Structure 1
Amino acid sequence: MRIAQLANFIGPASGGMKTAVQTLGEGYTEAGVPRLLVVPGPRDARTQTEHGDVVQLRAPRVGGGYRLIVEPWRVTEVLEQFGPTSIEISDKATLMPVAHWARRRGVRSLLFSHERLDAMLSLRTGWETGIAAPVSVLNRMLVRSFDEVVVTSRFAMREFQHLAASAGTALHRISLGVDLATFAPTPTREPRGDVLRLVHAGRLSREKSPHLAVATAVALHERGVPVHLDVYGTGPHRDELEEIAGTAPVTFHGHVAGRRALARRLGEADIALSVCPGETFGLAVLEALACGTPVVTAAYGGALELVDDLSGAWGEPDPDSLADAVLDLASRPAEATREAARERAEQFCWSHTVRDMLALHAGLTPGPTAGLVLAGREERTA
């Protein structure tokens, strides 16, 4: 078995996808499987690493710091040299011809869907109508082009379920994992004080809903709740967020260098706000839970499936409903919710993700649960 991973549309907001691609690749090589990674970049380059070669193909910027490979035939040239038995594509934009190349050569093709297009476009553009039809056309083409489609949540699965069934394409739900060693409870954390310490970590762009997190802190402040929100991350909408915050106790810290430094800050908070209703999985949720910090999330989206009744709370995606969820969570015994948060995160192991993906690459079918341990509120994720 020889696996080629293709991670297109790389940019500053793709941290979760980068983490997943990197961790899976490390797992493949540790299992003794040769692996090649192809990514876009400012220039052509090839780098040898302990986890396989990384080929960077020159690609233009397409807005927001993203780069996108627009010459798929250059990808197939690289693949011809590597000779994969299967390819794993994390892209829905320009690499569909690579799946067609794979089919002609008897190479297995897997689409790893890291986002739900209708939800992402709606959040990014603010449009409520006019998105469903073109997204459906693209998804119909995707399920007919790939041998397998992989999603990470029930919420993400619904984007493809009927289309994949009609095309006869296998659809698999496989959860991601979290680095439980790096993201761990802070041993020297101070007990909860008079001020409720909230945290939000992520890209400051509309598709991640930081506006909703900041507005939730403002709603609590306006109710007279002693609260402080720390925001970690950068992005194009920081000015808008600062305007929303106004005089409320919200501090914007910018980028945090190093995952351990971020873990320490997550662990110091009382509650994490990860409230995007369009997340297909929510690695930020798992990272906070792993640090022992309970999470408030929206009552829609894949992130909800990671939070159970003991480790967090949820509300409608509006500031007042989420503020109610924060107060509900804060009213519970802190020690119990923090223990439950860590225990919840421990149910999501990268080793299970790697195992199930290797099975797909080998032409096998993962187990019926495919590594997923979900909170069981399917009716709330419509």
Structure 2
Amino acid sequence: MHILRVANFVSPTSGGIKTALRHWGQLYQQAGHRASLIIPGPGPEISEEEQGLVYRVPARPVPGTGYSLMWSRVGLARLMDAIAPDALEVSDRSTTRWMGRWARRRGIGSVMISHENMTGIMVRRTPVPERPSHWAADVINRLSAHDYDAIVCPSRFAAEEFHRNGLAAEVVPLGVDVDVFTPVRELTDGPVPGQDGPIRLAHCSRLSREKNPALSIETVRELVRRGHEVELTVFGAGPMLDELVARARNLPVTFHSYITDRRELAAELGRADLAISPGPLETFGLAALEILACGIPVVCCDEGALHEVVGDGGVVKPSTPAAFADGVEELLRRRHARARARAAAERFSWPVSAGRMLDVHAAVAAGRAGPRD
């Protein structure tokens, strides 16, 4: 099977989607399939990579986001016709929804991966009141389900907005490379963090409003107010960087330059005692999972899918500085916290994730080979 993947919201500094695309593509090919990928430029127009043939096409920058989007339906359709895949996998329900109809006209199966929660986006990023936002999200989700043969979500939280409308959505969790993201210190209990130096905190995410990175800064402010000696290192890039630097003035916060090498990032994360993952709209939380794999317990918010990933590897708290500071103090007292964090991460595997994605493609192909209405 030749699987063409298309994703619009991918940039040189993006995280989860780009990581998932890379691992799935590599594992599809290892399973004997062909994998191709279309993403926005810049970069070489066509490159042969471990994840398959990658096409980078002209895209228009979206101000203030760090993303560029592919808009030309005519150009994209011509490229997709030339690639001539057997199956289509699209990681975007909005700007590329028309691709499901493209696949149907050509008699090939189509899968849409819902990496975002449309309801949360409508409520938090638009001025539309909450109830109309739910209605609008429901309309968009019904259109997506109509246009594609299958919908895949990375968590139960992400799938719920389809299930509440009686729409089918497969849950396929992402994975983590436990050989790359691995503890750099012993997992056994040692001195309580903060006894022999500052409590070392880490925040790792894209610095954009939907990730709520300001909560990590304000949690540090609250911990300092309570008399704790702490240091926070922020890993990530994004449109809020300057605003966050200003907010963190006079606080023990360091903003680390963007790290492209995964092993280097894992080594840096592994030096932390605890991590803060405040994103309220996460439909999975790959960054939090990678931190857990390094043996770092995580304080996460009680919204979104993070609690599904963190499990016993951390604590779940409301999205306030006081509650997150409480979570930090709770983890400081927890026995075997590092070992429990690593064990929580080991529940997730990229080979299992890719295998389940291939099962979805196989089921779609089998359905298309059978009787049609």
Q: Distance in 2 between matches of 1:360 and 1:318?
A: 39
**Paired letter, 2:53:** D
1:316 equivalent among 309, 318, 338: 318
**Paired letter, 1:119:** G
Report whether the alignment pairs 1:139 with 2:137: no
Report whether the alignment pairs 1:24 with 2:24: yes
The equivalent residue for 1:376 is none
Alignment deviations for residues 199-245 of structure 1 (CA, whole Å, 9 cap, x no partner): 10111111111101111111111111222111112222123223332
Q: Distance in 2 between matches of 1:212 and 1:275?
A: 6
Q: Distance in 1 between matches of 2:245 and 2:18?
A: 28
**Paired letter, 2:279:** C
- Residue 61 of structure 1 aligns to a residue in which SS? strand
- Residue 307 of structure 1 aligns to a residue in which SS? helix
Structure 1 contact 203–234 (Cα < 8 Å) conserved: yes
The equivalent residue for 1:379 is none
Report whether the alignment pairs 1:175 with 2:173: yes
The equivalent residue for 1:223 is 226
Structure 2 contact 110–149 (Cα < 8 Å) conserved: yes
Alignment deviations for residues 52-89 of structure 1 (CA, whole Å, 9 cap, x no partner): 22122212112222111112232222222222221000
1:286-365 residue pairs with structure 2 within 5 A?
286-309=289-312, 311-333=313-335, 336-363=336-363
The equivalent residue for 1:196 is 199
The equivalent residue for 1:97 is 98
The equivalent residue for 2:183 is 185
Query: Which TM-score applies when normalising by structure 1?
Result: 0.88
Return the offset for 1:364. Answer: 6.3
Structure 2 contact 194–229 (Cα < 8 Å) conserved: no
Q: Which moved more, 1:213-222 or 1:230-239?
A: 230-239
- Residue 197 of structure 1 aligns to a residue in which SS? strand
Return the offset for 1:124. Answer: 4.4
Q: Distance in 1 between matches of 2:92 and 2:319?
A: 28
Q: Distance in 2 between matches of 1:180 and 1:59?
A: 34
The equivalent residue for 2:86 is 85
1:270 equivalent among 269, 273, 292: 273
Return the offset for 1:121. Answer: 4.7
Structure 2 contact 66–239 (Cα < 8 Å) conserved: no
Report whether the alignment pairs 1:283 with 2:286: yes
- Residue 3 of structure 1 aligns to a residue in which SS? strand
Which runs of no fewer than 5 residues in structure 2 stay unpaired?
366-373
**Paired letter, 2:330:** D
Return the offset for 1:21. Answer: 0.7
User: Using a 3 Å threshold, how does the CA distance of structure 1 residues 231 and 225 change in structure 2: closer, same or farther?
Assistant: same
Report whether the alignment pairs 1:5 with 2:11: no
Q: Distance in 1 between matches of 2:86 and 2:200?
A: 50
Return the offset for 1:136. Answer: 2.4
The equivalent residue for 1:214 is 217
Structure 2 contact 23–51 (Cα < 8 Å) conserved: no
The equivalent residue for 1:369 is none
Report whether the alignment pairs 1:156 with 2:158: yes
Q: Which moved more, 1:19-28 or 1:257-266?
A: 257-266
Identity among equivalent positions (%) equals 40
